[in-house]
Structure 1
Amino acid sequence: MNRPNRLKRFWKILGPGLITGASDDDPSGIATYSQAGAAYGLSTLWTSIVAFPLMAAIQQMCAKIGLVTSQGLTGTLKTNYPKPILYLMLLFSFPAIIMNIGADIAGMGAVGNLLFPAIDASFFSVFFTILLLGLIIYLPYVKIAAVLKYLCIVMLVYFIVPFLYKQDFVAIAKATFIPTIKFDKDFIAILVGILGTTISPYLFFWQASVEVEEMKNKKRHLMVNKKIIHEMQQDVDFGMSFSGFVMYFIILTTGTVLYKAGIHQIDTVEQAAAALKPLAGNFAYLLFATGVIGTGLIAIPVLSGSISYIITETFGWEQGLDKKFHEAKAFYIVIAISLLLGLSLNYIGISPVKALIYTAILYGLTAPVLIAIILHISNNKAVMGNFTNSRLANILGFIALFIMTLAGGALLYLQFVG
């Protein structure tokens, strides 16, 4: 088989895993990585290497649950676990995801205003909200998946930006492979923030549900086999490595350009983009800003879709991006409400930075519990049959559980005691 055909076949395999990975680097994630780079230079570069196998392991488990059970994570929880656990997840997930959507919409609006200063940021926020709502409601799943997949290409801009500035490659290699840990409150808070925005609970729900959509679309729901599982693993591995590289290059960009220029306090994505302009040039600034809007267009459908899957599966309502509006009204109404609530955060006095802190706290509390449940489901033969976890998957899963529990505890300590 020649190279173009192999690449075409590999591109065809890519889908939910790639989209999930790309959505993980949403505008609020970019703000967190930019804070890390500006405040601590290259000191947190190593986190992308550590996070990758943990992200990939958990997302593969979620994807496999969807493929094997033909249900989303919520449906599987509802079928196999006590109802209070399900309602607890709903209680924590809903406000966290809404605040994440709000922070992302605000970030996109602010960056739109940076690119076109004559137009107010709030206009861009409203415009992007309406645009996304229209696309989600009117496009069938196949088209939405294709649009999101091609939008991922926009994120390649972050691979270019650091090389528009002179780099010290020895220092970069050292920071990448030799972890730096500073035992002070702010540095630990940044590490916790990076973990919280990287291993996010909404991605668990999205991954499982969208794999079911993909199976329905390919009419494969009766024939899960090792080949399909292997293709899913390739997709998730590529998506998570793509996400890790984007994270790495954002920290690298801000950790060299901004940190070396003495700009150590970055609270929002538009501040990061604006600060790059005089230091790295117009081209770097434009690429960075365009990337923020591109990631928002990928992440917000994933965020709103995940909350809609959670709620509609909880209450047994018709759901699915492959359905038309009249076939799954509740599903699309929940998406619309989540987008409008997210947009409204910009007008009721909750700043995007505070929304990010609250989101991180809720994710930090929810993630360890969810990872424990995912591990339990993934090792349950009654649910997973012959597709239970391998030893390596369990080792990585339990490391993720330990680290996220530690991160959640540290986050609470820093927020309320430290």
Structure 2
Amino acid sequence: MKRRNLFDVLGPGLVTGAADDDPSGVGTYSQVGAQFGYSMGWTLVFGFPLLASIQSVCAQIGATTGMGIAQNLRQHYPRALLQAVVVLLLVANIINLGANLGAMAAALALLLPGPIMAYVVGFGVLCVFLEVWLSYAAYARVLKWATLSLFAYVGVVFVADVPLWQALKGMVVPSFTFDREHAMALVAIFGTTISPYLFFWQAGQEVEEQHRRHVKPLMVSPRRAGAELKRIRTDTLVGMGFSHLVALFIVVATAATLHAHGVRDIESAAQAANALRPIAGDLAFALFALGIIGTGLLAVPILAGSAAYAVSETFGWTVGLDRKPREAKAFYGMIALATMGGVALNLAAIDPMKALYWAAVVNGLLAPPLMVVTMLIAQNRKAMGRLTISRRLAIGGWLSTAVMALVAAVFLLS
């Protein structure tokens, strides 16, 4: 068998991890860095194995069953549960789409002054066009190369004056004060990092990869399981590691610039970019703003696509980015509808930070029960055959679920 290079092995996990650092995530990490400096960096180090575990579970479900999360829910659990999950996911995704499109437009307006609403519409139309009309093979390559935009945030750190020892201490020494501000920051970080749309997307992309490579689900061809599960582990670990590393760079960059100069309140990713200019110079400002646009171009199609997977699988519609538009009209229609819903939110003049707040509420409440159901599917022999997840991955998945349940409880109490 031909040996595959690392870039060929990387796919759904890398793209999913990169999409986790969307403009709304950039805004969250910027606020944490500006408000608390380096002291909350440890949460991202702690969160890495949690996210990697649950995303590996989702990827294995897709690869093993040949079906997405919603389709597995449809087959093995009450329909009312599926409908509730999909409605909440759709609401959260559309709100996130609106916030991300608004952030991208605001970032572009910083670099190229112009009408923000025109930029919002332009980004929405561009994302729908690429997702609908590009072949899956070409689109997958576009998404993988788009992950390079995240290196903009690495560049910001190198043009800022970072006290290395203080930054490393924040990453490895837990520091937490039991007050409302720290509790909300904790919820914001975990709610931004472990989001339900990532579950649906990565499982769906594993199914897409099977169609692209013309191979059967692992439960049908178990001889391939060893190599495929190894690929999934590598892809997911690298993807989620990349995601958390970039998030750390954003926290460090804003801590070294904004926090160090007394700027403690950041309400958007674009505001973070603008605030960097007088402190860290034009290059840091430009890199940060370009990073927001690049991550948005990566995240918007994934938010819309995960919503389309969930809704289409619920109703039994034909799904797949490898399908021609005429073969999956409803699926592609949902991608366009979800994206245009995000555009419409910007027309409604809804406060983007309030929109993100309510998206976090929905995501935070949706994640724990969805993770419970996902773990049950992954350990269900009727769904997975003999390829149920390993004991080590089960421990990691259930630990992730318990932490998210605790985070949701902290959110409700705070």
How much does 1:385 deviate? 2.2
Residue in structure 2 matched with residue 132 of structure 1 by the alignment = 127
Describe how 1:86-235 pairs up with structure 2 within 5 A. 86-117=82-113, 119-222=114-217, 223=221, 224-235=224-235
The correspondence for 1:59, drawn from 55, 68, 74, is 55
1:8-407 paired onto structure 2 within 5 Å: 9-117=5-113, 119-222=114-217, 223=221, 224-407=224-407
Secondary structure at the counterpart of residue 325 of structure 1:
coil
> Partner of 2:258: helix, strand, or coil?
helix
Deviations 1:365-393 (A, max 9, x none): 11000111111111112221232222221
CA distance, structure 1, for counterparts of residue 216 and residue 103 of structure 2? 38
Q: Which range moves more in the overlay, 152-161 or 20-29?
A: 152-161
Instruction: Find the residue that maps to 2:267 and give its secondary structure.
Output: coil
- 1:180 is displaced (CA, Å) by 0.9
Query: Normalized against structure 1, the TM-score is what?
Result: 0.96
Cα deviation for residue 412 of structure 1 reads 1.9
User: How far apart, in 2, do the equivalents of 1:80 and 1:31 lie?
Assistant: 38
- The CA distance in 2 between the partners of 1:225 and 1:173, in whole Å, is 39
Please give the per-residue CA displacement for 1:117-155, whole angstroms capped at 9, x wherever unaligned. 2x1211211111111111111101111110010011111
Shift of 1:317: 0.8
Task: Describe the SS at the equivalent of 2:75.
Answer: helix
CA distance in 2, matches of 1:326, 1:382: 33
How far apart, CA to CA, are the structure 1 residues paired with 2:94 and 2:168?
A: 38
Letter aligned with residue 115 of structure 1: L
Contact 2:120 2:343 in 1 (8 A): yes
Deviation at 1:288, TM superposition (A): 0.8
Structure 2 unaligned segments of length 5 or more: list them: none
Alpha-carbon distance between aligned partners in 1 of 2:326 and 2:122, rounded to the nearest angstrom: 24
- Structure 1 unaligned spans of 5+: none
Cα distance in structure 2, aligned partners of 1:30 and 1:146: 24
Q: CA deviation at 1:413?
A: 2.2
Q: Distance in 1 between matches of 2:135 and 2:337?
A: 20
Q: In 1, distance between residues paired with 2:348 and 2:168?
A: 45
> 2:50 touches 2:399 (CA, 8 Å); kept in 1?
yes
Partner Cα distance (1:26, 1:79) in 2: 32
* Partner amino acid, structure 1, of 2:389: N
Instruction: Determine the C-alpha separation between the residues in 2 that align with 1:325 and 1:166.
Output: 50
Q: CA deviation at 1:165?
A: 1.5
**CA drift at 1:169:** 1.2
Distance 2:107 2:99 in 1: 12
Deviation, 1:158, is 1.2
In the alignment, is the contact (CA less than 8 A) between 2:162 and 2:252 conserved in 1?
A: no
* TM-score (norm. length: structure 2): 0.97
Q: Secondary structure at the match of 1:327?
A: coil
| Per-residue deviation, 1:14 | 0.6
Aligned to 1:413: 413
**Partner Cα separation in structure 2 for residue 296 and residue 384 of structure 1:** 34
What is the CA–CA distance in structure 1 between the aligned matches of 2:233 and 2:25, rounded to whole Å? Answer: 24
The Cα of 1:90 is off from its aligned counterpart by: 1.2
Letter paired with 1:150: W
Q: Following TM superposition, by how much is the alpha carbon of 1:234 offset from its aligned partner in structure 2, in angstroms?
A: 0.5
Structure 1: distance between partners of 2:256 and 2:127 = 34
Question: SS of 1:326's equivalent?
Answer: coil
After TM superposition, give the deviation of residue 350 of structure 1 in Å: 1.5
CA–CA distance in structure 2, aligned partners of residues 95 and 176 of structure 1? 34
- Aligned residue for 1:221, secondary structure, equals coil
What amino acid maps onto 2:144 in structure 1? K
Provide the C-alpha distance between the structure 2 equivalents of 1:67 and 1:191, rounded to a whole number of angstroms. 32
Give the drift of 1:256: 1.3
Equivalents in 2 of 1:265, 1:58: separation in Å? 32
Distance across 1 between alignment mates of 2:154 and 2:44: 14
For residue 225 of structure 1, give the secondary structure of its aligned residue in structure 2: helix
One-letter amino acid matched to 2:26: I
**Matched residue pairs, number?**
408
